Structure 1
Amino acid sequence: MQISETSVDVRYAETDQMGVVYHANYLVWMEIGRTRLIEDLGFRYADMEKEGILSPVIDIEISYKMPVRYGEKAYIKTWVEEYDGIRVTYGYEITTERGELSVKALSKHACVKKTNFRPVSIKKVFPDWHEAYEKAKK
């Protein structure tokens, strides 16, 4: 299993009045982690989109454990949890700079044609991605 790691500095705009990261910002950080993983596998989302394929989120599961606060750094680990040739489930752990688990999450995506949102087979349309996902998955 391949795990990609990246970090973000918590900006003031990402927090609420208590100085705690607003819950929806973790979704943005998950996207940063997912993009890093895809790049680490040797690909780019932008290239997929140039081919007329999108990868919308079809399900999110997120569990908040401990807040990250303004002025801290958050660390994002991302991996391929499940992959079936059409759908990809990414796993995430976001930790505080002290190494404490802040968020554990999964996001499920499907590849679809931009023109009609019909699902496409990653295996058929992007065989290199398919092979990389097969090798990288849990």
Structure 2
Amino acid sequence: MYIAERTIEVRYAETDQMGVVYHANYIVWLELGRTKLIETIGFRYADMEKVGFVSPVVDLSISYKRPITYGQVALIKTWVEEYNGVRVVYGYDIYNDVGELSVKAYSTHICAKKEGFKPVKMAKYFPEWDEAYKKISKNNK
């Protein structure tokens, strides 16, 4: 299983009155982790959009374990948990700067035509991307 890593320096604006990262900001961090994974295997999500396709989130699960606070550096680890040619489930672990698991998350996406959001098979429109996901997916047998 291939895992991409990305660090985030926690900014003051990302915290709430309790001084911890506001829960919705983790969703932005998941996108940063996902983008890093896609880039490290040689692709760009923006290129998919340029040719009329999108990859919308259809399901999201986040478990908050420990807070991360202003001034810390968070580490996002991202991988492909499952891939079936149309749907991809990304897995994420976010650690605080002492190595403790702070967030465990999964986001499910489909590949779809931008117009109408009709799901499509990745192999038909993005065969190289499809092959790469098959190789790095945790469910690759």
TM-score (norm 1): 0.99
1:111 aligns with 2:121: no
Instruction: Give the paired residue count.
Output: 138
Counterparts of 1:115 and 1:91, CA distance in 2: 28
Counterparts of 1:130 and 1:32, CA distance in 2: 21
- Hey, what does 2:29 align to over in structure 1? 29
Displacement over 3 Å in runs of 4+? none
- Hey, what does 2:2 align to over in structure 1? 2
TM-score (norm 2): 0.97
Counterparts of 2:111 and 2:127, CA distance in 1: 13
Counterparts of 1:85 and 1:64, CA distance in 2: 30
Counterparts of 2:15 and 2:47, CA distance in 1: 33
Counterparts of 1:131 and 1:7, CA distance in 2: 27
Structure 1 unpaired stretches of 5+: none
Deviations 1:56-114 (A, max 9, x none): 00000110000000111100000000000000000000000000000001000001111
Report the AA paired with residue 70 of structure 2.
Y
Counterparts of 1:123 and 1:101, CA distance in 2: 35
Counterparts of 1:18 and 1:67, CA distance in 2: 10
- Hey, what does 1:64 align to over in structure 2? 64
For the aligned residue pairs, the C-alpha RMSD in angstroms reads 0.5
